[in-house]
Every structure is written in structure tokens, then in C-alpha cells.
Amino acid sequence: MLIIVRLAIPLAALAAAGCVTSKPPTIAHVHIGHALTGVAVTPGQKGYLLEAEDRAQNALDLANKAILDTSLPQMRKDVETIVQAATSEDDFGLKHSLIMASNHITFAATSDDASQNVRASAPLFAQHITRVVERCDEIALLGKDVDVTSNLEEARSLTAEIRSLSEQNIIGEDAHATGVRGATPAEYGMKQLTKELQDMIARENPPYRTVDQYYLFNLIRLPNGKWIFDKAERNGTTGSGY
């Protein structure tokens, strides 16, 4: 099974090790931190990309279970949880979390202090998430078919398709039968998208450093569109905190 490489060490560990930034980061790097490290609104306050990775794996684990179900009601119930892992907005499903990660990379690129590297990379990343988003929508449609069928074997066949899509959302697909998964953006899964952002970070100059929790949780957007750090330290719980 694929093990996705994490882009960030937990904030508490970084603080203890003295590895967090000691001076204010650029606004662009804070937005990148929201995608890669942490944000106040997600479960466990993980970065959006980390949440997307977890939900992608969650969907596949659930699909592996569902395909073995021996009763139609249980299969329907398990498929419903797969659809939630893939598409839920309230629970930060894969689709929503990945879109939010892309949004914050775009926020970074449109910040006044963004590097040319980030400005060039952000629109490509926004395009390259498309196939994962499409697969999530396909999973939702197949989930509806499972919900209405009265035939266990038909439901199992539909669930097998859901499982295949869930696996592709992690490791990519080989749509062109080249023998390589994720060879093109139209075949990408989270593995390839994660690497794309890792490569972007590796190109940053000055280097990207893990952003301190204070800056991650206290960046707000003013009505005029300007981003500032909230001196009230409300940890993103009010206003336009991210």
C-alpha cells in the first residue's frame, strides 16, 4: 500500500525543536502553510493537503471493506461513508480539502510578496487537481446507483468501480496504457499532486520554512482584500480567518 510522504512535522514537535520561523514569514508562505502544514478550521488543524491525503486513504480503506460486504444494507451504508470521505464539505472530504489546498496556493501566488516560482506553479496545480475532483464526483454518482439497486451483485460491481476510483485518487491511473500511473496531469492522484507541491517548495528562494502556528492561525483578509495578521489572536475563529 502506498505511503504518502508528509510535507510537515506536527507543529508542536517543530516548536519543541526550535525549527519554526523566528521572524514573520511572507504572506505567500503563510498561505502555502495553510495547504501544507496547518489551518484552524480542519479536523486536528491539519493543512488542507494533509486532510485531502487522509480522506483519500480513508475512502480506499472503506471501499476495501465495502466490497466484501455480504448484505445489501451494509454495503449501502459503507458506500455512503465512502462518498462522504470523497465529497463532504462539512467533514472536509477529499474533493473539498483538495480544492481548498489549491485555493490557498492560488492565494499565495496572488500575494504581493509571492515568488515567481509560486506565481508560475499555482495555476498549473489548480489545473492538475481536476481529475481527482472528477473521480470524487464519479464516486458520488456510483454511490447513488448503489443506493437504488436491489441487487447485491450489481451493488458489488458498482462498489468495485468505486474502489478502483478511490485507489486512482491516491496513486493515479494509467488511462493511456503506458504502464505508468499518473504519467500525465489527466492521470494524477494525490501521490503526483503532493510531489508537485514538494517540487514547488524545493524551488523556493529564499527557502520555504515551516510557518509558526501564530501566523498560520491569525492571518485574516480585510474587506479591501488585503491580508494581515490578526493582533487579537483569535486563531481564525472570526472574520475572514483562514
Overall average pLDDT of the 77-85 stretch: 98
pLDDT digits (tens, 9 = 90+) for 151-183: 999 999 999 999 999 999 999 999 888 889 999
Residue 48 cell numbers, joined: 488542507
CA-based torsion, 50, 136, 62, 192: positive or negative: negative
pLDDT digits (tens, 9 = 90+) for 98-137: 999 999 999 999 999 999 999 999 999 999 999 999 999 9
Q: Residue 33: how many CB atoms within 10 A of its CB?
A: 28
CA 108/CA 148 separation, integer angstroms: 43
Q: Residue 10: how many CB atoms within 10 A of its CB?
A: 14
CA 147/CA 192 separation, integer angstroms: 32
Range from 9-18, 65-74, 218-227 that averages highest in pLDDT: 65-74
pLDDT digits (tens, 9 = 90+) for 212-234: 888 888 888 888 888 888 765 55
Overall average pLDDT of the 29-44 stretch: 93
User: Do 85 and 165 form a contact (C-beta atoms < 8 A)?
Assistant: no
User: Do 126 and 119 form a contact (C-beta atoms < 8 A)?
Assistant: no
Task: Give residue 203's pLDDT.
Answer: 96
What are the b/e assignments for 144-183, b being 16+ CB within 10 Å?
A: ebbeebeeeeebbebbeebbebbbbbbbbbeeeeeeebbb
